[in-house]
Chains A and B, each alone.
Chain A
Amino acid sequence: MPEDRPHDGDDFQLVTRTGDLERTQYGIPLAVLAELTHRCPLQCPYCSNPLELEAASGELTTAEWLHVIDELAEIGVLQIHFSGGEPTVRKDLVALVARATEVGLYSNLITSAVMLTRDKLAALADAGLNHVQISFQGAEPVVADRVGGFRNGHAKKLAAARWTRELDLPLTINAVMHRQNLHQLPDIIDMAVALDADRLEVANVQYYGWALKNRQALMPTVAQLEQTTRLVTAAQQRLNAVLVIDYVIPDYYASRPKQCMGGWGRQFFNISPAGKVLPCHAAETITGLSFESVRDHSLDWIWNHSAAFNRYRGTDWMPEPCLSCAHKEEDFGGCRCQAFALTGDAGNTDPACALSPMHGRIFALAETESGADRNAFLYRNFSGGLPETD
């Protein structure tokens, strides 16, 4: 599920066995995030889908997705992440996974897992699915089901995680963390070990779209974050060769911005439910950019010629302080979506950077919000959000 994607490029980098990064200069990406649908039974208040969700009637058809999968393999994509919304909402998921297997794409399922049955999962495994990632909203049902806005969701996730391992599929647990569930992180780590997960993503919420609307209810305190970093570091050492833990910090409290998606249009793309090709899954939060569709152009053409992709590619578009910055090829000026969300212009330096003139103000705002006791959520839905009631 997209709300669970850490908003960075870690998953899609080329990594040597010693962990070095090798850059592809705007060659076709190695991985694609295929958002099959925005429909989802969960209502997480930090969902990274756009505020204006795509209705089922606008989704690509099965035939269109099959064509896209063929095209992805032809142009050199190696991995496909089936995501959403909730990808298991699509009745054709098994057929899409089977086609990915047939054309040699390595497939990941990124799911809330609440709609899975053991039979459905077995059918996906038989179709050649290579990996399952399940989101968890907490360590136990009270917090988790409240965050997801879905009753009995946590118990269903636990069952699905066990089936995943019984079917000998590798399992990643994705835990999106924020002020109201960070206290459960030690138990989430234990849960990941007990579920025999291979990998745990501890992803702090990134703030745009729905999460920005809920920032005051989600923003962790500085003290929470410091404790979390210590905890994760200790767990990484303790669980070496048992569980891989990837950690995404919220960059509001960083002094340097994240290298978002490995750079805009450099090594990642996303296909929306309606077939729009995006430089990142949150790119549609930036108004004023128009994105090309697989219904109108080939993927190869879009990657190379889309005005939206070329808008923030490379470093020539950068304003100061980025343009003359020694770090511009390291962080590419940070996150365009965050720059847009916080400054109104996606071409500005990401305010997460200490060199941004807005950094101090935003840090102070985040700290103020984290200390406020306003915890009610605005749940994600198709009609502008549902305020939480007692």
Chain B
Amino acid sequence: MQAETPPAVRAPRPRITAQSVPRLPRHVKLHHDKTRDRWVILVPERVLLPDDTAVAVLQRVDGARRVCDIVDDLARVYNADPALILKDSIALLQDLADKAFLLAATEPPDA
């Protein structure tokens, strides 16, 4: 049995911050399931069921907006505490990133 850690060729999963610009990779689809009338996330060999908060966040993930922009928008639309939304959003996005279901840049793409 080998104990050595193999070289990780894959880029480390992104660390999500308020300044991150998240986007969904091509193999992750936020999809409205008409039959069951609910939003789902389609990923390889899994169907994830996002709660309402996750759906609201992911509908705003477009590869252009920063996490903080998304949070500002949500705070306005839902008239809620931005600090709380930021905390929840980062936790959600980090969870998806750790599973390779989310990509993120540190800067917004040039317009």
Which A residues contact B (CB, under 8 angstroms)?
A: 11-17, 22, 27-28, 30-31, 75-76, 78-79, 81, 104, 106, 108, 130-131, 133, 168-170, 172, 186-187, 189-190, 193-194, 196, 198-199, 227, 231, 238-244
The chain B residue sitting closest to A234, CB to CB, is B3
List the B residue with the shortest CB-CB distance to A130: B27
- Asked whether A187 lies within 8 Å of B35 as measured between CB atoms, the reply is no
Could you tell me if B10 and A242 are in contact, using CB atoms closer than 8 angstroms?
Answer: yes
With contacts A27-B36, A244-B99 taken as known, whether A108 is within 8 angstroms of B9 at the C-beta atoms is: no
* Residues 46-58 of chain B, each 1 if its beta carbon lies under 8 Å from chain A, else 0: 1111110010000
Q: DSSP class of B's interface residues: helix, strand, loop or mixed?
A: loop
Closest partner residue, chain A, to B35 (CB atom):
A76
B: interface residue count bin: 35 or more
Contact among B41, B45, B48, B49 with A81 in the assembled complex (CB-CB below 8 Å): B45
User: Of A78, A81, A172, A187, which contacts B2 at CB under 8 A?
Assistant: A187
Instruction: Considering the complex, give the chain A residue whose CB is closest to the CB of B100.
Output: A198
Contact of A193 among B2, B6, B31 (CB under 8 A): B6
**Taking A15-B47, A17-B50 as contacts, is the C-beta distance between A78 and B8 under 8 angstroms?**
no
Q: Of A22, A30, A130, which is within 8 A of B44 by CB?
A: A130
User: Inside 8 A of A31's CB, which chain B residues have their CB?
Assistant: 45, 47
Q: Report how far A194 CA is from B6 CA in the complex, Å.
A: 8
Minimum distance in angstroms from A346 CB to a CB of chain B: 27
Q: List 22 A-B contacts (CB under 8 A).
A: A11-B45, A12-B45, A14-B47, A14-B49, A16-B50, A17-B50, A17-B51, A30-B47, A76-B34, A108-B45, A130-B27, A133-B45, A170-B44, A172-B44, A190-B6, A196-B10, A199-B44, A239-B8, A240-B98, A241-B98, A244-B99, A244-B100
